[in-house]
Each structure stands twice: as structure tokens, then as C-alpha cells.
Amino acid sequence: MSRERAEGEHTHVVHNGKRNLTIEELALMQPGMDRLMAEVGTRTHRLYFAAQARNWRLAEYFYRSIVKQLRLCATSRPKYADEMNGYLDVDCVPVRDAIKNGDLAAFDNAYQRMIDRANELHGVFGKPWIRWVTPSTAPEEFDFSAGVGEDGTT
């Protein structure tokens, strides 16, 4: 254990199949904001190309996974919670609405505003050198047109 425990203080221990771990040890193993945000970037890349293919079901799937990941960021790093929740409520909702309406022009505008605001927030948190851009090509591991009909509906 990394620190001494007062006599009678209780700690929870779990076994991971290899060894016993304390709650403190488990907490140290949790991903940092850098790893969490790298996952957001990958999902955002996929969201964009799903929408460009008018695969609204897939775009919605990636949108929901981004929101879930950002909520995890806010929970695991409370100093970001207020700004993150505001970002989700104000900057991400128009993207969701464009997806639900199957409106590519509205999506493109809302998506760009969402990305611009994310980059502003990097500066707010003292990391102006982090600037996310949408990659110019779609990830090769997905067929973004899967399930899209000839009329552009899913």
C-alpha cells in the first residue's frame, strides 16, 4: 500500500484475477484526460464521416458515444465539469439535432461550431497548443455507407 492506514480504518480490496488491488490502486489505473480525449477525437472523426455518408444511424451512434465519453471526462476530472457540461448542452446539441433531422447542411455548420468551441476550451484550460482538426480522409476500417439506402436514408 502506498500509505499507512490508521488502526481500524477499512479499505476495500478487489482481485483482478492476478492480484489483490486496493481502491487507491484502481484509481491510479484510470485513464488520464489525454487518453480520454484521444478516444473522443477518434469518435469525432467517425461521426463526421458517418454524417457525410448520410448514415444518420451511425452518426447518432458516434454522437452518443462522444457524449458518453465527455460525461466520463467531466466526472473523472471535476475541474472540467462546468465547461464540459456547458459544451455538451450548448455546443453539441445542435449536432444531435441535425443528425435527428437528417440535415447535412445543418450538421456541417453545427459540427464546425462544435469543433471550434472545443479548440477554444483547450485554450481556456491552458493548452492552446492542442488544436483538433477533422482528418481529410475517412477511417479505412469503416464502410460509412453500410445500411444507407439509395435515397440517403438509413
Is 15 or 11 the better-scoring residue by pLDDT? 15
Hey, what domains does the chain have and what are their CATH numbers? 33-124 (1.20.120)
The band of 1, judged by pLDDT with boundaries at 50, 70 and 90, is: very low
In degrees and rounded to multiples of 5, residue 21 shows phi and psi of -130, 140
**Please, are residues 101 and 63 in contact by the beta-carbon 8 Å criterion?**
no
The band of 2, judged by pLDDT with boundaries at 50, 70 and 90, is: very low
- The three grid cell numbers given for residue 21, joined into one nine-digit string: 488491488
3, pLDDT greater than 90: no
Output the DSSP codes for 85-104: HHIIIIIIHHHHHHHHHT-H
127, pLDDT greater than 90: yes
